[in-house]
Each structure stands twice: as C-alpha cells, then as structure tokens.
Amino acid sequence: MSSLVRAAANTRAQEFETIRVAVAGSVNMDLVAQCDRLPRPGQTVHAVAYSQLPGGKGANQAVAAARLGAECAIIGRIGDDAFGERLAATLAQYGVATDGLLSTPNTSSGLAWINVDQTGENSITMVPGANSQVSPEDVRNNATLIESANVLVVQLEIPLDTVLAAIKIASAAGVMTILDPAPALTGQMPDELFRVDVMTPNQTEAEALTGVSVTDVQSAVRACKRLRDRGVPRPVITLGADGAVFLDECTEVPRHALPPRVEVVDTTAAGDAFTAALACRLAAGRTLAAAVSFGCAAGALAATALGAQNVMPEWNDVMEVEKRV
C-alpha cells in the first residue's frame, strides 16, 4: 500500500472503522485527446495534447474508494497486452486488491477514446476488449470478495448477465448493492436491475430508464419517482454542476444536493468519483443525504484536473471542499 493510500486510510479510521467495497466492472486504458471543441459528425479537429491514462468505470470507482480509505477489491478482466500489465500495476499501486482481476489470453485490454474540450465536456468511444469476457463464472469464483464487503458497486461496461450474477451474490449475502447504470442500455433493462439498493444514473441514463427528459431539478424529481415506482428504493440522479436529486426509502419528498463550485477541467471521472464516495459513506452507515453530499464534493474535485484514476480525491480533500457548500 502506498504512503498516500495509507494516510487516507488512517485519516478515515479516526471517524469510523474500515469499510470494504467490492467492485465488479470494467478496466480500460483511456486515450485522451484535449481539443478546443468536440468534433461534430464528419468534422476533424486538432488535439492540443494527448495522454494515456488508466480508466474504465469499474477501475475508476475502485481506485476512488481506495483513495477515500476503503479496503477495495475489483473483479474484472484485462488483456494480455502491455496496457493490461500497466492497468493491473496501477490498481495495485492505489491499494486496490487485484486477486479478482484476470488476464485474458489473445485479447486486448479495454480501450476508451476520449475527446475533452476546453470547457471540460467530453465524448467517449468504447472498445470493450477483455471487459466483454468478464463472465458470471468469474464473479462466482470470486464470490468471497463480494460476500465479505459492505457494499458492491456495479456498472454496465461488462456483460449484463455478469452484473446480474454479482448482484445476486451480494443480495444473498446481505451486502448493499449500488448500480451505476452506465452506459445507458438501448433496450429494456431487466427487472432485477431495479431491485438494487441504490441506483445512480446521470441525466441521459435517467431518461433512458424512465422516459423523462431530465433537464433540470423538477424533471429529475419526476424521473426519481418513476425509478422508485420501478422498484429502486433509493434512486439518485446526478445533474453535473447542478448536483443530484434523490429519494430514500423513508420519505416520498425528493431532495436536492448542490456541489461545491470548482473550476472544471475534465468531467470524465466525476461520476465515478461520485458513486464511489456515495458507496463509502453508505457503507459506513451514513444517511443517503450525507452520502449524496459527500459524493457531490468528490465528483466536483475529480473534475478539476485531466484524467480519471489519477484525479480521484482523498478523504481530507473531500471533507474540506464539502464545507464550501
């Protein structure tokens, strides 16, 4: 464990006991081009800079949880290429347990081509690579990582049947389940996905799930209620710079949490930081309101620099910036 991870864990321990987070999800290498503006269809734009940065929603959320002081394990796959070696090494460097990270022969690691404009907005093209081969058997073979956790976090960048298998194991063991439904599915989501404890769609994903065009707080409230009607006890819809709207299982009154104001550089990993921070707070027994507030602060901090795993904030930094709201 690095000194940075150890310091974050020690600081967290002053507030509550160590928590355990399991993540079943994607591991990618992000190929990031910084552009003055995002290209329109048929248009070529020149990049002003280029970077290779470890990413993938699963890996990002695992690193974010570890940076916040959680004991975190990931279940996923990398390719047997140079990217795979670097991705595994980076996760271990950040303190993520990689016993459940499998190398896949004759397969490339997952890749993401990311364009980021000068306002911090991005467009992303995914190549699943080894992520497409994460199987239900992989999850079942690593069931103890899920069963020993306080929270399981899943996304939709690995096969759907694998996500469902992970949720089933967690639910049977009484482990809290959090679904970040990204990327949005083009078809109808199985009912089982609406039975997770917490769901954290962004505006686009919320519209795909509910049919409500989420453009402001009021429409987010309507979408939250539809997710509740579908069976999600605690829906949380993220609104970027406008924070998040959420419902918990104890009230029918939606609530709105605002993030601290920051200078946005790159929003690529803000949602992953939000979900991981939310998971850590809920795993520690905090209320949904406290968890959403903490998640908003973590997401805002992650947007202040270029990258993904390398910009995930530490516990003290999130606590400090949360005070600004």
The catalytic residues are 272
CA–CA separation, 279 and 19 (whole Å): 10
Residue 11 one-letter amino acid = T
**Is residue 37 within 8 Å of residue 123, measured between CB atoms?**
no
Provide the 3-class DSSP secondary structure of residue 322. helix
Provide the 3-class DSSP secondary structure of residue 306. coil
**Is residue 56 within 8 Å of residue 186, measured between CB atoms?**
no
Respond yes or no on whether the N-terminal peptide bond of residue 183 is cis (omega within 30° of 0): yes
Indicate the burial class of 263 (C-beta count within 10 angstroms; 0-12, 13-18, 19 or more): exposed
Q: Which two tokens stand for residue 95?
A: 């303190």
- DSSP states of 206-244 as a string? HHHHHS----SHHHHHHHHHHHHHHT-SEEEEE-GGG-E
CA–CA separation, 131 and 60 (whole Å): 14
Indicate the burial class of 133 (C-beta count within 10 angstroms; 0-12, 13-18, 19 or more): middle
* Residue whose tokens read 């670097």: 86
**Is residue 186 within 8 Å of residue 159, measured between CB atoms?**
no
- Phi, psi (5° rounding) for residue 22? -110, 140
Q: Which two tokens stand for residue 167?
A: 């949720």
